[in-house]
Amino acid sequence: MTLADQLRARIDSSGPLRLDAWMAACNRAFYAGADPLGRDFTTAPEISQMFGEMIGGWIGDLWLRAGAPAFDLVELGPGRGTLLADALRVLRRLPGFAAAVRVQLVETSDVLRDAQAARLAGWPVQWHADLAELPGDRPLILIANEFFDALPIRQRKDGQERHVGIAGDAFVPMWRVSPGPDAEWSEASTAIMAGLAARLERQGGAALIIDYGHDGGSHGDTLQALKGGARACPFADPGAHDLTAHVDFGALAAAAQGLACHGPVGQGAFLAELGIAARAAALKSGKLPAQAATITAALHRLTAPQQMGAIFRVAAVTAPGWPAPAGFGMAAA
């Protein structure tokens, strides 16, 4: 039975599916299929090694200032494992780091787990389907890059909530009465953030969240589907493309009870403060002009405001007693 058949059967028996149920089912199938990264979309760590290296610097700085404790380095939705591979190449040079770290990956896709295992060979890696499975005996430093945007959302407009039904052969959006203000929100995201905040408060540590999104307030319908790098209809071909929505950083901060929040700031400003320009210059030295041009182009793509520098936002939360993290301007002073 294809996913479309399963969804049709569900709708036939219990009526239109609420948007979050539709999105969860579609994305589970999408990420369980062939490796989507590079085919349907690309992400910052896949653009350049500089991205993961900067995050490695961020982790190392925080870990050292926290007193270099034994800890769990966690990534939510690690994709191909590229970010952590680049970060760990930087971090392994720190005395005592390799002995202090365990790597914990939260990933639901078996295809991507295999890619992560290959990329992170040699490190002590464990996989989990859910944040709730993480060990509870050490502080955590957690990274989530383009993770929250894939989590299910709900939408309400004019006293009706968006569902997905069937008209003829096609899946179509349908609206059902639901009193309340116009909104787009992600209960899945705020639940994860609340669970994470409770853990960080207990275990110590910090989380770094990078995604495209906004700082709160109303932004209308931000649901989109991408296939082969182009926009597609979110209600056609379930499971064939990535469904995403803009991340509401204001809602995530509100869910991070008991923690200090830093940012959000633009990805361009964050990476600039961590020294990405100097890293690009070092990588370019001695390279052929064409290779140097590729590095310059990657730097531009990651940091320019009209590229990923402004729409991608970076926020961090830290547990009580943990130092303020680098990259957030005055907050880090």
Can you give the binding site for ligand SAH, defined by CB under 6 A?
27, 31, 37, 43, 45-46, 77-79, 83, 106-109, 112, 145-147, 150
Residue closer to ligand SAH, measured from CB, 19 or 66: 19
| 101 secondary structure, DSSP code | E
Tell me how far, at minimum, the Cβ of 66 lies from ligand SAH, in Å. 24
Residue closer to ligand SAH, measured from CB, 85 or 295: 85
Query: 3-class secondary structure for 136-197?
Result: CCCCEEEEEECCHHHCCCEEEECCEEEEEEEECCEEEEEEEECCCCCEEECHHHHHHHHHHH
Residue closer to ligand SAH, measured from CB, 208 or 253: 208
Instruction: Please state whether 76 falls in left (phi above 0), alpha (psi between -120 and 50) or beta.
Output: beta
Residue closer to ligand SAH, measured from CB, 33 or 216: 33
Rounded Cα–Cα distance for residues 333 and 331 (Å): 6
Residue 227 three-state SS: strand
**Beta strands, E only, 180-301:** 183-185, 205-214, 224-227, 230-232, 242-244, 247-248, 260-266
Tell me how far, at minimum, the Cβ of 45 lies from ligand SAH, in Å. 5
Tell me how far, at minimum, the Cβ of 307 lies from ligand SAH, in Å. 16
Tell me how far, at minimum, the Cβ of 112 lies from ligand SAH, in Å. 5
Rounded Cα–Cα distance for residues 16 and 174 (Å): 7
- Stretch (H or E) spanning 9: helix 3-14
Tell me how far, at minimum, the Cβ of 234 lies from ligand SAH, in Å. 16
Report the residue closest to ligand SAH, judged by CB: 77
Residue closer to ligand SAH, measured from CB, 77 or 309: 77
* CA nearest to 106, candidates 6, 204, 222, 196: 196
Residue closer to ligand SAH, measured from CB, 204 or 266: 266
Residue 85 three-state SS: helix
Tell me how far, at minimum, the Cβ of 288 lies from ligand SAH, in Å. 27
Residue closer to ligand SAH, measured from CB, 109 or 155: 109
Tell me how far, at minimum, the Cβ of 68 lies from ligand SAH, in Å. 26
Antiparallel, parallel or unpaired: β 260-266 and 312-318: antiparallel
Tell me how far, at minimum, the Cβ of 130 lies from ligand SAH, in Å. 7
Residue closer to ligand SAH, measured from CB, 150 or 280: 150
**Whether 227 contacts 192, CB under 8 Å:** no
Cis-peptide into 264, omega within 30 deg: yes
Tell me how far, at minimum, the Cβ of 285 lies from ligand SAH, in Å. 27
User: How many CA atoms, within 13 angstroms, populate the side-chain half-sphere of residue 195?
Assistant: 13
Residue closer to ligand SAH, measured from CB, 49 or 66: 49
**Whether 194 contacts 179, CB under 8 Å:** no
